[in-house]
């Protein structure tokens, strides 16, 4: 398996892990107990810094190679690329709400919960389609040269939470994951 594909699959496992935490926090919000908004904020900052910035663009490059080799993948690729934009929008909105809460502004509980649950469900179903359909097709279709092109098309940016060096900003999120796993 190419290093790129390995990285994308590892990213999915890490993201899925964070979505479980977000979902647990949403349950706490729902029950009107005190949720850990700093933790949720860290997760959503991470989502905009790594998945939106590196994981999805890497997939977009791979998807372009896929449709160049396999015309029948056009529809699914168009959908997934559209969803990358949708995820950035939904994630950005949820992130803003969390910032407001942490800053002490009033945010309606129902609206926060809806935005959080919507984001979680959307990202989960997006990753499921990639795992079950788009990734296997890419693995079948891309040549060694295609993978090399995808790799060289990305600037080297490592994961600031799950990568070799944990960014200071994400130290408490990292510690939380270590404790809970």
Residues in touch with Fe ion (CB under 5 A): 59, 130
Pick 112 or 130: Cβ nearer Fe ion? 130
To Fe ion, the closest distance from the beta carbon of 38 in angstroms equals 26
Contact criterion met (CB below 8 Å) for 48 and 95 = yes
Nearest to 55 by CA among 91, 107, 96: 91
Helix (H, G, I), strand (E, B) or coil at 159: coil
Shortest distance in whole angstroms from residue 83 CB to Fe ion: 7
Instruction: Give the residue with the Cβ less far from Fe ion, 95 or 101.
Output: 95
Least separation, in Å, of the C-beta of 10 and Fe ion?
Answer: 11
Query: Do 23 and 121 touch, CB atoms closer than 8 A?
Result: no
Distance CA 72, CA 67 (A): 7
Nearer to Fe ion, 42 or 59 (CB): 59
Calpha distance 140→152 (Å, rounded): 20
Burial class (CB in 10 A: 0-12, 13-18, 19+), 129: middle
| Percent of the chain as helix, strand, coil, to the nearest 5 | 80, 0, 20
Q: How far apart are CB 62 and Fe ion at their closest, in Å?
A: 10
Cβ proximity to Fe ion: between 130 and 146 the closer is: 130
User: Would you say 27 or 89 has its CB closer to Fe ion?
Assistant: 89
Report in angstroms how near the CB of residue 65 gets to Fe ion at its nearest: 15
């Amino acid at each position: 398996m190419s290093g790129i594909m390995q990285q994308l699959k590892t990213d999915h496992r890490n993201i899925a892990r964070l979505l479980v935490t977000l979902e647990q926090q949403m349950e706490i919000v729902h029950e009107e107990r005190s949720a850990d908004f700093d933790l949720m904020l860290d997760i959503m900052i991470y989502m905009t810094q790594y998945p939106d910035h590196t994981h999805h663009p890497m997939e977009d490059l791979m998807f372009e190679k896929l449709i160049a080799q396999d015309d029948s993948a056009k529809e699914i690729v168009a959908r997934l690329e559209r969803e990358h934009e949708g995820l950035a929008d939904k994630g950005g909105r949820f992130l803003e709400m969390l910032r407001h809460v942490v800053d002490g502004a009033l945010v309606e509980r129902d609206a926060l919960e809806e935005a959080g649950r919507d984001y979680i469900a959307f990202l989960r179903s997006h990753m499921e389609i990639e795992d079950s359909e788009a990734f296997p097709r890419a693995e079948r279709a891309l040549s060694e040269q295609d993978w090399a092109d995808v790799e060289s098309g990305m600037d080297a940016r490592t994961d600031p939470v799950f990568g070799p060096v944990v960014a200071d900003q994400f130290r408490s999120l990292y510690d939380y994951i270590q404790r809970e796993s």
